[in-house]
Structure 1
Amino acid sequence: MPAATAPAVDLVLHGGQLVDGTGAPARNADIAVKDGRVVAVEPGLRAEAGRRIDTTAMTVVPGFIDPHSHSDWSILGNRDAESTIRQGVTTEVVGNCGVTYGPVGTSDVDATRNALRAYGFLGEVTWRSFAELLDVVHRDDGGTAQNLAWFVGHTALRNAAEVRGTGADAVGITRMVRHLEEAMDAGAIGMSSGLEYGSGRDATTEELTSVAAVLARYDGIYASHIRNRDAHLLDAVDEFLTIARHNGLRAQLSHLNVRHDTGAPPDAWHAAVGRLIAEREAGMDVLADMTPYPHGIGLATGLLPGWLLADGPATAAQLLADAEIRTQLRGDCDRYWRFVHKGQWDRVVLATSPATPELEGLPFTRIAELRGQDCWDAFFDVLHAAGTDMPAVQLMGRLFTAEHVAEAIAHPLFCLGVDGFTSRTDGPLAARTRHPLFFTGHTHYIAHHVLQARNLTLEEAVRKMTSKVAERFALRGRGRVEVGACADLAVLDLETLAAQDTFAFTGSYATGVPHVVVNGQLVVHNGQHLGTRAGQYLPRR
């Protein structure tokens, strides 16, 4: 009996319209996939296929690529990328804002383990270098559902090099450079910095310029959560551009937005955008990214002054027990989310708090009411209870106006990201992500900004979520639906998305994206996660 003939292709999506990621108008087309690649894009395909999926009345797009993700924090506790893959996100650029959990210094192992437990990882921190972390994520234990491209965090480099305070000497810089070189040799796409919190806030411009010089040898990208996004926004933008310009680097300004009612000069955001445009015209490869909601996550320690944190979180927690210290802090905490100094604590929710999980998801006004305190003392008590885990305490804030968000999203300078991390509806992650940002942040761009508010056309939104990001980070073969491209695909039900209120937190996974394909393999089918882990590590090329 003759052997069965293999089908001509592995998968055909037929009957739908295609928005291919280039910005071109939607058109009718079927898509054929074989061996992880798109092999045909044309209407009326009749190829014999191992699987055919009817996408009639639906829209096929390239898998979304998040240019600014923190899913490296949660990936070890959520390898199936439940909340993001179900939104059609097939690739995430992680390691942003200076905070990565590799490299890890010997003295930071316990703190790293405790921080990762808050994200559902119950294993041990067996790695020390950035390359070893990549091995654990991508090769040791079952892979990932989505593709990941990685920055290495400057704060992690600093901590691993045992650099403390503002006095990074030649020895400390040499150590940071060595760790950065190791990360770049392992395929990191560049270095990110976070200059409003953690050890990164102590770094001088000179230190950052010296360390970032390594990137020029690798054609790496410098990405930065800049030092200020309120009264001194333009100074912070200038510092970012100085570091990139001095080293001739490609540069990404993370979430370039201005927090509402925090003292930013009138029209500061437009002036900042203008400076980036001027640099682009002068030849610098620089872009920015934006988030979908007026809300955003932040680190609680970002509100604390440097003098309190100088000797580490354990000492800071002890100091917070002193009433006189607290009195001084009420004035010295006027940084980062400055609106709290105007009494606007109703804008702040406690998102992640390993020591007081019973308070997670509550605004500080409610926490203070429950504890019979004012909001400052409630805040200080949460941090005091955290002790050495203080860096893991996260906030969710109502940071921006809806008008500001809409304008930035529509601006041609900006890629569209979420600035969150992949979550689940069960376990520790569920308790710490009670906001639509984590479950519908990506589909919110389509449901709200395209179909409801009409801030963007569908074609332009898809481009800014796919090919624009792929080109920005040199993710070759991604971001477009065309012959030869990697078969990362999402199928959108626009009718379902148009009817959604993606501002509401439902506690469930996104709907409206019934099928998701990663590297040619079906991961989500009819709205159900199949458990497929087809994601790849995307090293710098």
Structure 2
Amino acid sequence: MLDVVIKGGTVVDGTGAEGFAADIGVKDGRIVAIRSTADGGVTEEAAETIDATGQIVCPGFVDPHTHYDAQIFWDPYSTPSNLFGVTSMVAGNCGFSLAPLGDAADGEYLKHMMTKVEGMALEALEQGVPWNWLSFAEYLDRVEESGTAINVAFMVGHSAIRRMVMKEDSVGKEATPEQLAEMRTLLKTSIEAGGFGFSTGRSFTHSDADGQPVPSRWAAWEEVLELCKETSLHEGTTLEWVADGCLNGFDDDEVELMTKMSVTADRPINWNVLTIDSARPDAYRNQLDACEKANEDGAKVVALTMPILVGMNMSLGTFCALFQLPGWMDYFNMGIDARMEKFSDPEVVTWLENQAAMPEAGVFSRLTGWDNYMVGDTYSEANEGLKGRTLGDIARERGQ
């Protein structure tokens, strides 16, 4: 007797084959039968029958680029990814893992860094994350003890390693040979403990809570490649990185480094995110050409992309992509009261709009078009009833 039978759905099995109507039988947590309805479907009895008529039945999706490293402690379901069919994911990307740590000060640095690079709320990081680990192994133990609803793998982040070894010198200085050797040993023990691979970040968009480039951005090529060499010694590992070229198009140096990383590690390297932008319709060709050039030279480079228009959450109260517009950071660094006072000044608003339209805004210029912004949530009585409405509609209604 089966535990579950899923009846009448359209099975899309991930092989590239056309979907077909079939029943699926499950026993002891595993699929034991897939039979097309044309052949009679699954006829065995089951403890539970699910009618999937009119639905797509497919394998769970794997999301290779997430930052659930902190959220997973207060939300083991990894919402909202689980709601979209994700059953496996990779965290610790862009060089940003929450382990290893050398001491509490390292945790404080990473905690505040994450509020900037990933827009995480400091209150959530302080109240929702236990921070009761030092080693990467201990971090994984805490995650397992907390529990997860989906499968998750964690990359070992370069910035965490660098901070633990070099402390304050991780920002502003290159590593000494002794420090590099210590970093390599730390990566070794972290991967042996269960780390999925090595991630690093060199993107201009990633700065710490003090506004300085994150630790990984200060690393010399020699350091990056030495850590890739260590990764090569551990089967089943992978590489991930983010660089300026992921947004603005790769230059020759980035293509060379990306190639050397993959070849040195003898591992694939993925980067995020390939987008096709109507404002820059030919930009994606540079990024695809970079991948092809690297692969021709012996690397295996994989670009991550999304099959949808990318929606983003913006807030004038917390860190978000708007910070990256030229000159906007100065205002977001003000206290919330002073910030909102400035945003109420028409001259300031006009200046900010002009800054956002400057060539220096690069890909972030796509964040303009304020009329089409939709209100996601409201928190004051004055704004009740605005959720789901566009700013353009609201402004026209108010004669603004």
Give the partner amino acid of 1:274: D
Give the partner amino acid of 2:33: A
Q: Is the 8 A contact 1:166 1:204 kept in 2?
A: no
**Cα drift, residue 26 of structure 1:** 0.3
When structure 1 is superposed on structure 2, of 69-78 and 232-241 the one drifting more is 232-241
**Cα drift, residue 297 of structure 1:** 8.1
Cα 1:277–1:374 shift into 2, 3 Å = same
Q: Is the 8 A contact 2:249 2:286 kept in 1?
A: no
Q: Which of 228, 233, 254 is the aligned partner of 1:236?
A: 254
**Cα drift, residue 154 of structure 1:** 0.8
Measure the CA separation in 1 of the matches of 2:335 and 2:109.
13
Measure the CA separation in 1 of the matches of 2:162 and 2:345.
37
State the secondary structure of the residue aligned to 1:11.
Answer: strand
Measure the CA separation in 2 of the matches of 1:66 and 1:203.
28
Give the partner amino acid of 2:253: D
The 5 A counterparts of 1:369-388 are: 369-370=343-344, 374=348
The 5 A counterparts of 1:298-313 are: none
Unaligned runs of 5+ residues in structure 2 are: 207-213, 353-362, 369-376, 378-386, 392-400
State the secondary structure of the residue aligned to 1:103.
Answer: coil
**CA RMSD of the aligned region, Å?**
4.1
State the secondary structure of the residue aligned to 1:277.
Answer: helix
Cα 1:70–1:376 shift into 2, 3 Å = farther
Give the partner amino acid of 1:9: L
Partner of 1:63: 60
Measure the CA separation in 2 of the matches of 1:21 and 1:303.
37
TM-score by length of 1: 0.54
The 5 A counterparts of 1:169-184 are: 169-184=176-191
Measure the CA separation in 2 of the matches of 1:297 and 1:238.
34
Give the partner amino acid of 1:103: P
Measure the CA separation in 1 of the matches of 2:241 and 2:106.
23
TM-score by length of 2: 0.71
Asked whether 1:159 is paired with 2:156, we answer no
Partner of 1:93: 90
Q: Which of 113, 129, 132 is the aligned partner of 1:126?
A: 132
The 5 A counterparts of 1:427-506 are: none
Measure the CA separation in 1 of the matches of 2:21 and 2:57.
10
Q: Which of 247, 267, 270 is the aligned partner of 1:249?
A: 267
Aligned-residue identity in percent? 28
Deviations 1:285-339 (A, max 9, x none): 32110144345689969999xxxxxxxxxxxxxxxxxxxxxxxxxxxxxxxx4xx
**Cα drift, residue 281 of structure 1:** 4.6
**Cα drift, residue 215 of structure 1:** 0.7
Cα 1:200–1:367 shift into 2, 3 Å = farther
Q: Which of 190, 195, 215 is the aligned partner of 1:188?
A: 195
Partner of 1:269: 284
Give the partner amino acid of 2:174: G
Give the partner amino acid of 2:224: L
Q: Is the 8 A contact 2:250 2:287 kept in 1?
A: no
Deviations 1:498-535 (A, max 9, x none): xxxxx99xxxxxxxxxxxxxxxxxxxxxxxxxxxxxxx
Asked whether 1:136 is paired with 2:142, we answer yes
Give the partner amino acid of 2:238: I
Partner of 2:50: 53
The 5 A counterparts of 1:26-425 are: 26-43=19-36, 44-106=41-103, 107-112=105-110, 117-119=122-124, 121-138=127-144, 140-141=145-146, 143-162=147-166, 163-196=170-203, 197=206, 198-219=214-235, 220-228=237-245, 229-230=247-248, 233-257=251-275, 267-281=282-296, 283-291=298-306, 292-294=308-310, 337=324, 340-341=325-326, 356=336, 368-370=342-344, 374=348, 399=366
**Cα drift, residue 23 of structure 1:** 1.1
Partner of 2:373: none
**Cα drift, residue 267 of structure 1:** 4.2
Cα 1:56–1:398 shift into 2, 3 Å = farther
When structure 1 is superposed on structure 2, of 267-276 and 180-189 the one drifting more is 267-276
**Cα drift, residue 284 of structure 1:** 2.9
Q: Is the 8 A contact 2:239 2:268 kept in 1?
A: yes
When structure 1 is superposed on structure 2, of 95-104 and 198-207 the one drifting more is 198-207
Deviations 1:459-483 (A, max 9, x none): xxxxxxxxxxxxxxxxxxxxxxxxx
Measure the CA separation in 1 of the matches of 2:71 and 2:350.
29
Measure the CA separation in 2 of the matches of 1:64 and 1:286.
21
Asked whether 1:16 is paired with 2:23, we answer no
**Cα drift, residue 176 of structure 1:** 1.2
Q: Is the 8 A contact 1:294 1:399 kept in 2?
A: no
Give the partner amino acid of 2:158: H
Deviations 1:205-264 (A, max 9, x none): 121111221011014212101244326545323322222223433211232448887xx9
State the secondary structure of the residue aligned to 1:12.
Answer: strand
Measure the CA separation in 2 of the matches of 1:207 and 1:297.
35
Cα 1:86–1:247 shift into 2, 3 Å = closer
Cα 1:181–1:260 shift into 2, 3 Å = farther
Does 1 or 2 have the higher relative contact order (CA < 8 Å, sep 6+)? 1
Measure the CA separation in 2 of the matches of 1:88 and 1:231.
31
State the secondary structure of the residue aligned to 2:128.
Answer: coil
Q: Is the 8 A contact 1:165 1:203 kept in 2?
A: no
Deviations 1:413-433 (A, max 9, x none): xxxxxxxxxxxx9xxxxxxxx
Measure the CA separation in 1 of the matches of 2:12 and 2:366.
32
